[in-house]
């Protein structure tokens, strides 16, 4: 039947039929036919042979061995983005592994590739705030909504002390269940809030500390600790690496860094980021405004920090560019 259809189309070549792809059509129909036949056979109660895949068997053995030894399972689904077919395949296997580990109550650690994401809303001339510190609203409401979606996917949002104090941001996810694609019965995920720099009391950044939110602060000086607020103090001047490691130890495996300039400078100069997301709005803020970043110039162009453009999106008149480090 399949062969007959294939020959008929090849000979008559109807308008809607691309004859160059005849072989592909034949193969799809042929294998589709086998699948259909086997499915019917299985539904009728016939015996179906499924070849076991040695690699999947090895994964099962590895989970069993970890469980016996009382050690957690480490699963790396790849280092590429979610839209790569290799990662999708890895995540499918992760589904299988997570069911096994849940059954045996074995801890499962899944490190993710893009864990530190820097984000800024900037003007056409690369500025994130006016000279007086005003920065709301550079990007439009669609871009801001997209930021909230990003927030919902991260374990934490980090800002520098000046941003926390001057802007008094809430750093919460303000989207509905529907906008997040979540069932109404589930809670809206709220990332932990992180402030880098000296904060002495909650009233300095009221909205961040509101509603007993979980907040972690990090600086070289002593900070305040209460209820859900933890302070991490460091001796070294450059403690960013140690701070990120301490956050990871607290299960904060993904951080969205939302500025300001000094904070972005620190993450970029320490090469401590995986992704940079820039929303560029079609406005000009002028030379006295605060630049998105303000790093030392390299001596040669070839020594400059160069990122890889990953994706460009348009939110009304704003352009979102996602770069990989």
Binding site for ligand NAP (CB under 6 A): 120-121, 128-129, 133, 135, 138, 159-163, 166-167, 196-198, 219, 240, 258-263, 266, 290
- In Å, the largest CA–CA distance within the chain is 83
Comparing CB distances to ligand NAP, the nearer of 39 and 270 is 270
Give the nearest distance from C-beta 289 to ligand NAP in angstroms.
9
Give the nearest distance from C-beta 238 to ligand NAP in angstroms.
7
Comparing CB distances to ligand NAP, the nearer of 77 and 160 is 160
Comparing CB distances to ligand NAP, the nearer of 94 and 272 is 272
Give the nearest distance from C-beta 21 to ligand NAP in angstroms.
48
Q: How many helices and strands in the chain, by DSSP H and E?
A: 10, 13
Instruction: Give the integer Cα–Cα distance in Å for 47 and 190.
Output: 50
DSSP lists the bridge partners of residue 156 as 192, 255
Give the nearest distance from C-beta 240 to ligand NAP in angstroms.
5
Contact 280, 318 (CB under 8 A): yes
Comparing CB distances to ligand NAP, the nearer of 25 and 240 is 240
Comparing CB distances to ligand NAP, the nearer of 66 and 163 is 163
Instruction: Give the integer Cα–Cα distance in Å for 117 and 194.
Output: 14
Which helix (H) or strand (E) covers residue 312, if one does?
strand 308-315
Instruction: Give the integer Cα–Cα distance in Å for 201 and 182.
Output: 35
Give the nearest distance from C-beta 71 to ligand NAP in angstroms.
35
Comparing CB distances to ligand NAP, the nearer of 81 and 198 is 198
How far is C-alpha 32 from the chain's CA centre? 37
> How large is the C-alpha radius of gyration of the chain?
26
Give the nearest distance from C-beta 225 to ligand NAP in angstroms.
17
Please identify the residue of the shown chain whose CB is closest to the bound ligand NAP.
260
Which residues are CB-neighbours of 72 under 8 A, at least 6 positions away? 66, 106, 107, 108, 109
Instruction: Give the integer Cα–Cα distance in Å for 255 and 259.
Output: 12
Give the nearest distance from C-beta 138 to ligand NAP in angstroms.
5
Comparing CB distances to ligand NAP, the nearer of 29 and 321 is 321
Give the nearest distance from C-beta 284 to ligand NAP in angstroms.
14
Please spell the DSSP secondary structure of 191-208, one letter per residue: PEEEEES----GGGGHHH
Instruction: Give the integer Cα–Cα distance in Å for 185 and 219.
Output: 38
Comparing CB distances to ligand NAP, the nearer of 109 and 294 is 294
Instruction: Give the integer Cα–Cα distance in Å for 78 and 65.
Output: 22
Instruction: Give the integer Cα–Cα distance in Å for 275 and 256.
Output: 10
Give the nearest distance from C-beta 258 to ligand NAP in angstroms.
5
Q: Cβ–Cβ contacts within 10 Å for residue 159, how many?
A: 24
Comparing CB distances to ligand NAP, the nearer of 22 and 133 is 133
């Amino acid at each position: 039947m399949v062969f007959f259809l294939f020959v008929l189309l090849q000979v008559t070549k109807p308008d809607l039929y691309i004859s160059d792809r005849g072989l592909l059509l034949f193969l799809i129909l042929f294998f589709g036919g086998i699948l259909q036949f086997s499915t019917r056979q299985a539904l009728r109660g016939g015996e179906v042979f499924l070849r076991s895949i040695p690699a999947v068997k090895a994964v099962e053995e590895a989970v069993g061995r970890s469980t016996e030894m009382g050690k957690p399972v480490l699963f790396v689904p790849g280092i590429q983005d979610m839209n790569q077919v290799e990662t999708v395949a890895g995540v499918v296997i992760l589904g299988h592994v997570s069911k096994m580990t849940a059954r045996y109550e074995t801890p499962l650690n899944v490190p993710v590739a893009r864990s530190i994401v820097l984000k800024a809303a900037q003007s056409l001339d690369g500025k994130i705030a006016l000279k007086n510190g005003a920065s709301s609203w550079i990007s439009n409401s669609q871009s801001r909504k997209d930021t909230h979606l990003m927030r919902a996917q991260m374990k934490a949002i980090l800002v520098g002390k000046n941003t926390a104090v001057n802007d008094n941001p809430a750093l919460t996810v303000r989207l509905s269940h529907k906008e997040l694609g979540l069932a109404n019965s589930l809670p809206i995920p709220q990332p932990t809030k992180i402030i880098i720099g000296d904060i002495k009391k909650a009233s300095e950044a009221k909205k961040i500390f509101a509603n007993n939110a979980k907040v972690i602060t990090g600086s070289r000086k002593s900070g305040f600790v209460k209820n859900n607020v933890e302070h991490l103090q460091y001796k070294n001047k450059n403690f960013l690496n140690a701070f990120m490691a301490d956050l990871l130890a607290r299960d904060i495996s993904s951080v969205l860094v939302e500025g300001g300039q000094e904070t972005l400078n620190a993450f970029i100069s320490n090469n401590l980021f995986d992704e940079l997301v820039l929303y560029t709005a079609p406005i000009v803020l002028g030379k006295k405004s605060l630049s998105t970043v303000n790093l030392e110039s390299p001596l040669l162009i070839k020594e400059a920090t160069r990122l890889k453009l990953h994706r460009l999106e348009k939110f009304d008149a704003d352009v979102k560019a996602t770069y990989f480090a």
